[in-house]
Protein backbone atom coordinates (compact mmCIF):
# COMPACT_ATOMS: atom_id res chain seq x y z
CA UNK A 1 0.00 0.00 0.00
CA UNK A 2 1.42 3.36 -1.07
CA UNK A 3 2.14 6.00 1.56
CA UNK A 4 0.07 9.08 2.25
CA UNK A 5 1.78 12.05 0.60
CA UNK A 6 2.37 14.88 3.06
CA UNK A 7 2.21 17.81 0.67
CA UNK A 8 3.63 21.08 1.99
CA UNK A 9 1.34 23.23 -0.15
CA UNK A 10 -1.74 23.41 2.10
CA UNK A 11 0.47 24.01 5.13
CA UNK A 12 2.41 26.79 3.40
CA UNK A 13 -0.78 28.33 2.00
CA UNK A 14 -2.30 28.57 5.48
CA UNK A 15 0.83 30.20 6.95
CA UNK A 16 1.06 32.69 4.07
CA UNK A 17 -2.65 33.55 4.28
CA UNK A 18 -2.20 34.41 7.95
CA UNK A 19 0.92 36.46 7.11
CA UNK A 20 -0.93 38.40 4.40
CA UNK A 21 -3.79 39.25 6.77
CA UNK A 22 -1.33 40.51 9.39
CA UNK A 23 0.59 42.61 6.83
CA UNK A 24 -2.63 44.30 5.72
CA UNK A 25 -3.08 45.48 9.31
CA UNK A 26 0.49 46.76 9.70
CA UNK A 27 0.10 49.85 7.55
CA UNK A 28 3.52 49.49 5.90
CA UNK A 29 5.37 47.04 3.66
CA UNK A 30 7.72 44.63 5.47
CA UNK A 31 11.08 44.36 3.73
CA UNK A 32 13.02 41.09 3.53
CA UNK A 33 16.70 41.20 2.52
CA UNK A 34 18.29 37.97 1.31
CA UNK A 35 22.08 37.64 1.21
CA UNK A 36 23.41 35.02 -1.22
CA UNK A 37 27.16 34.38 -1.29
CA UNK A 38 27.23 31.07 -3.17
CA UNK A 39 26.65 29.85 -6.72
CA UNK A 40 24.57 26.92 -5.46
CA UNK A 41 21.62 25.97 -7.69
CA UNK A 42 19.71 24.74 -4.65
CA UNK A 43 20.16 28.19 -3.07
CA UNK A 44 18.96 29.85 -6.30
CA UNK A 45 15.79 27.79 -6.11
CA UNK A 46 15.09 28.74 -2.49
CA UNK A 47 15.89 32.43 -3.06
CA UNK A 48 13.33 32.56 -5.88
CA UNK A 49 10.75 30.86 -3.67
CA UNK A 50 11.35 33.35 -0.85
CA UNK A 51 11.06 36.36 -3.17
CA UNK A 52 7.85 35.02 -4.71
CA UNK A 53 6.29 34.20 -1.34
CA UNK A 54 7.25 37.55 0.17
CA UNK A 55 5.80 39.51 -2.74
CA UNK A 56 2.64 37.39 -2.77
CA UNK A 57 1.65 38.47 0.76
CA UNK A 58 2.38 42.17 0.26
CA UNK A 59 5.99 42.27 1.41
CA UNK A 60 9.07 43.40 -0.48
CA UNK A 61 12.07 41.14 -1.10
CA UNK A 62 15.56 42.38 -1.99
CA UNK A 63 18.37 39.98 -2.98
CA UNK A 64 22.01 40.84 -2.35
CA UNK A 65 24.07 38.50 -4.54
CA UNK A 66 27.77 38.61 -3.70
CA UNK A 67 30.46 36.91 -5.75
CA UNK A 68 32.85 35.00 -3.45
CA UNK A 69 32.84 37.68 -0.73
CA UNK A 70 35.24 37.85 2.20
CA UNK A 71 33.94 37.50 5.72
CA UNK A 72 34.55 41.21 6.29
CA UNK A 73 32.47 42.14 3.23
CA UNK A 74 29.57 39.97 4.37
CA UNK A 75 29.60 41.35 7.90
CA UNK A 76 29.87 44.91 6.59
CA UNK A 77 26.72 44.41 4.48
CA UNK A 78 24.87 42.90 7.44
CA UNK A 79 25.79 45.86 9.65
CA UNK A 80 24.43 48.26 7.02
CA UNK A 81 21.16 46.34 6.86
CA UNK A 82 20.98 46.20 10.67
CA UNK A 83 21.08 50.02 10.80
CA UNK A 84 18.52 50.52 8.02
CA UNK A 85 15.09 51.03 9.64
CA UNK A 86 13.47 50.14 6.30
CA UNK A 87 14.85 46.60 6.58
CA UNK A 88 12.69 44.33 8.74
CA UNK A 89 14.20 40.91 8.09
CA UNK A 90 17.54 39.49 6.97
CA UNK A 91 18.27 35.99 5.66
CA UNK A 92 21.80 34.69 5.06
CA UNK A 93 21.69 31.75 2.67
CA UNK A 94 23.72 28.81 3.98
CA UNK A 95 26.16 27.23 3.48
CA UNK A 96 28.61 30.11 3.12
CA UNK A 97 31.96 29.95 1.28
CA UNK A 98 34.61 27.94 3.14
CA UNK A 99 36.71 31.03 3.86
CA UNK A 100 33.86 32.56 5.89
CA UNK A 101 32.98 31.75 9.51
CA UNK A 102 29.25 30.99 9.65
CA UNK A 103 29.19 31.73 13.38
CA UNK A 104 30.79 35.17 12.94
CA UNK A 105 28.34 36.08 10.18
CA UNK A 106 25.27 34.92 12.10
CA UNK A 107 26.42 36.70 15.25
CA UNK A 108 26.59 39.93 13.24
CA UNK A 109 22.83 39.81 12.61
CA UNK A 110 20.51 42.04 14.59
CA UNK A 111 18.47 39.41 16.46
CA UNK A 112 15.36 41.51 15.87
CA UNK A 113 15.83 41.03 12.10
CA UNK A 114 16.90 37.38 12.19
CA UNK A 115 13.96 35.80 10.34
CA UNK A 116 15.72 32.44 9.94
CA UNK A 117 16.17 32.11 13.72
CA UNK A 118 19.86 31.26 13.40
CA UNK A 119 21.51 33.89 15.57
CA UNK A 120 23.11 32.06 18.56
CA UNK A 121 20.83 33.98 20.94
CA UNK A 122 17.70 32.94 19.04
CA UNK A 123 18.95 29.35 18.92
CA UNK A 124 19.51 29.49 22.69
CA UNK A 125 15.98 30.76 23.23
CA UNK A 126 14.68 27.89 21.13
CA UNK A 127 16.62 25.43 23.27
CA UNK A 128 14.99 26.91 26.37
CA UNK A 129 11.54 26.31 24.87
CA UNK A 130 10.76 29.74 23.42
CA UNK A 131 9.44 29.24 19.86
CA UNK A 132 8.40 32.79 18.96
CA UNK A 133 10.71 32.90 15.90
CA UNK A 134 11.93 29.32 15.45
CA UNK A 135 14.49 28.17 12.92
CA UNK A 136 12.64 27.98 9.62
CA UNK A 137 13.36 24.45 8.35
CA UNK A 138 12.97 22.87 11.77
CA UNK A 139 9.68 24.69 12.28
CA UNK A 140 8.52 23.58 8.83
CA UNK A 141 8.96 19.94 9.85
CA UNK A 142 6.97 20.53 13.04
CA UNK A 143 4.20 22.36 11.17
CA UNK A 144 3.85 19.51 8.66
CA UNK A 145 3.63 16.90 11.42
CA UNK A 146 1.02 18.97 13.26
CA UNK A 147 -0.99 19.74 10.11
CA UNK A 148 -1.38 16.06 9.29
CA UNK A 149 -2.08 15.06 12.88
CA UNK A 150 1.10 13.06 13.41
CA UNK A 151 1.62 12.95 17.17
CA UNK A 152 5.27 12.67 18.24
CA UNK A 153 4.62 12.34 21.98
CA UNK A 154 6.32 9.15 23.10
CA UNK A 155 7.48 8.41 19.55
CA UNK A 156 11.00 7.36 18.57
CA UNK A 157 12.22 10.05 16.19
CA UNK A 158 15.48 9.78 14.27
CA UNK A 159 17.03 12.87 12.67
CA UNK A 160 19.77 12.39 10.11
CA UNK A 161 21.38 15.83 10.44
CA UNK A 162 23.10 17.63 13.31
CA UNK A 163 23.35 21.16 11.87
CA UNK A 164 22.06 24.41 13.35
CA UNK A 165 19.64 24.59 10.42
CA UNK A 166 17.78 21.37 11.09
CA UNK A 167 19.11 18.73 13.50
CA UNK A 168 19.88 20.74 16.61
CA UNK A 169 16.79 23.00 16.62
CA UNK A 170 14.57 20.04 15.73
CA UNK A 171 16.01 18.11 18.66
CA UNK A 172 14.93 20.94 20.96
CA UNK A 173 11.46 21.29 19.46
CA UNK A 174 10.75 17.57 19.38
CA UNK A 175 11.97 16.88 22.90
CA UNK A 176 9.75 19.76 24.07
CA UNK A 177 6.90 17.73 22.58
CA UNK A 178 8.02 14.66 24.55
CA UNK A 179 9.45 12.67 21.64
CA UNK A 180 12.47 10.42 22.18
CA UNK A 181 15.00 11.80 19.72
CA UNK A 182 18.15 10.30 18.21
CA UNK A 183 20.38 12.64 16.20
CA UNK A 184 22.60 11.02 13.57
CA UNK A 185 25.32 12.52 11.37
CA UNK A 186 28.19 11.73 9.02
CA UNK A 187 30.14 9.88 11.75
CA UNK A 188 27.21 7.73 12.90
CA UNK A 189 28.02 4.02 12.72
CA UNK A 190 25.50 1.57 11.26
CA UNK A 191 23.04 4.31 10.30
CA UNK A 192 20.41 1.88 9.05
CA UNK A 193 20.21 0.24 12.49
CA UNK A 194 19.09 3.61 13.89
CA UNK A 195 16.74 4.56 11.07
CA UNK A 196 14.96 1.20 11.02
CA UNK A 197 13.81 1.76 14.62
CA UNK A 198 12.28 5.17 13.92
CA UNK A 199 8.56 5.85 14.18
CA UNK A 200 9.37 9.15 12.48
CA UNK A 201 12.49 9.55 10.33
CA UNK A 202 13.68 13.03 9.32
CA UNK A 203 16.61 13.37 6.91
CA UNK A 204 18.32 16.59 5.80
CA UNK A 205 21.81 15.69 4.56
CA UNK A 206 21.71 16.86 0.95
CA UNK A 207 22.96 13.42 -0.12
CA UNK A 208 20.71 12.31 -3.01
CA UNK A 209 18.56 9.25 -2.25
CA UNK A 210 20.60 8.34 0.84
CA UNK A 211 17.56 6.80 2.54
CA UNK A 212 16.36 3.61 0.82
CA UNK A 213 13.50 1.24 1.56
CA UNK A 214 15.94 -1.03 3.39
CA UNK A 215 16.56 1.75 5.95
CA UNK A 216 12.97 2.46 7.00
CA UNK A 217 10.53 0.54 9.15
CA UNK A 218 7.12 -0.66 7.93
CA UNK A 219 4.47 1.98 8.54
CA UNK A 220 6.87 4.70 9.71
CA UNK A 221 6.61 8.39 8.78
CA UNK A 222 9.38 9.90 6.65
CA UNK A 223 10.09 13.63 6.40
CA UNK A 224 12.55 14.48 3.63
CA UNK A 225 14.15 17.87 4.31
CA UNK A 226 17.14 17.32 2.03
CA UNK A 227 17.69 18.98 -1.33
CA UNK A 228 20.26 18.51 -4.08
CA UNK A 229 20.36 18.55 -7.86
CA UNK A 230 20.91 15.42 -9.93
CA UNK A 231 21.21 16.07 -13.67
CA UNK A 232 19.36 19.35 -13.25
CA UNK A 233 16.50 17.86 -11.22
CA UNK A 234 15.80 18.74 -7.59
CA UNK A 235 15.79 15.58 -5.47
CA UNK A 236 15.71 14.79 -1.77
CA UNK A 237 17.55 12.54 0.66
CA UNK A 238 14.96 9.80 0.26
CA UNK A 239 14.53 7.31 -2.58
CA UNK A 240 10.88 8.28 -2.86
CA UNK A 241 9.79 5.58 -5.28
CA UNK A 242 10.86 2.64 -3.11
CA UNK A 243 10.38 4.17 0.34
CA UNK A 244 6.84 5.37 -0.38
CA UNK A 245 5.77 1.74 -0.90
CA UNK A 246 6.84 0.79 2.64
CA UNK A 247 6.04 3.72 4.95
CA UNK A 248 2.67 5.12 6.04
CA UNK A 249 3.39 8.76 5.16
CA UNK A 250 6.12 10.70 3.36
CA UNK A 251 6.91 14.24 2.19
CA UNK A 252 7.82 14.71 -1.48
CA UNK A 253 10.75 16.69 -2.90
CA UNK A 254 9.97 19.15 -4.32
CA UNK A 255 6.71 20.22 -2.74
CA UNK A 256 7.15 19.03 0.83
CA UNK A 257 9.28 20.74 3.47
CA UNK A 258 10.63 23.44 1.12
CA UNK A 259 7.46 25.52 0.63
CA UNK A 260 6.70 25.38 4.36
CA UNK A 261 10.24 26.52 5.21
CA UNK A 262 9.76 29.53 2.95
CA UNK A 263 6.34 30.30 4.44
CA UNK A 264 7.81 30.11 7.95
CA UNK A 265 10.45 32.69 6.99
CA UNK A 266 7.68 35.01 5.82
CA UNK A 267 5.80 34.40 9.08
CA UNK A 268 8.95 35.31 11.01
CA UNK A 269 9.34 38.43 8.85
CA UNK A 270 5.87 39.56 9.92
CA UNK A 271 6.84 38.95 13.56
CA UNK A 272 9.96 41.09 13.12
CA UNK A 273 8.03 43.85 11.34
CA UNK A 274 5.33 43.83 14.03
CA UNK A 275 7.94 44.24 16.75
CA UNK A 276 9.53 47.15 14.85
CA UNK A 277 6.26 49.03 14.32
Of 254, 251, 260, nearest to 15 by C-alpha is 260
Residue 116 annotated as catalytic: yes
C-beta separation of 55 from 32 below 8 A? no
Q: In the annotation, is 245 catalytic?
A: no
**Helix pair angle (167-176, 136-147), 10° resolution:** 40
Q: Where are the alpha helices (DSSP H) in 85-200?
A: 102-107, 120-127, 136-147, 167-176, 191-195
Catalytic residue among 36, 43, 50, 199: 50
Number of alpha carbons in the 13 Å side-chain half-sphere of residue 42 = 20
Among 43, 93, 113, 239, which one carries the catalytic annotation? 93
**Is 83 a known active-site residue?**
no
| Cα–Cα dist 21/23, whole Å | 6
Q: For the chain, state the CA radius of gyration.
A: 18
Which of the following is catalytic: 36, 113, 114, 116? 116
Just list the catalytic residues. Answer: 50, 93, 116
Amino acid sequence: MAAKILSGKPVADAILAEAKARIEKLGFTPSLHIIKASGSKAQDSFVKMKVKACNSVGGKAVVHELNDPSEAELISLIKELNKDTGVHGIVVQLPLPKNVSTLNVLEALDIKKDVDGLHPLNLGRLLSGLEAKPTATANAVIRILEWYGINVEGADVVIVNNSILVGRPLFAMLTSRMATVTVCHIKTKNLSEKTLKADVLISATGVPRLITDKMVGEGSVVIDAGTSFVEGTLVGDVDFQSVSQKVSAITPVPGGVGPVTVATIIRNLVECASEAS
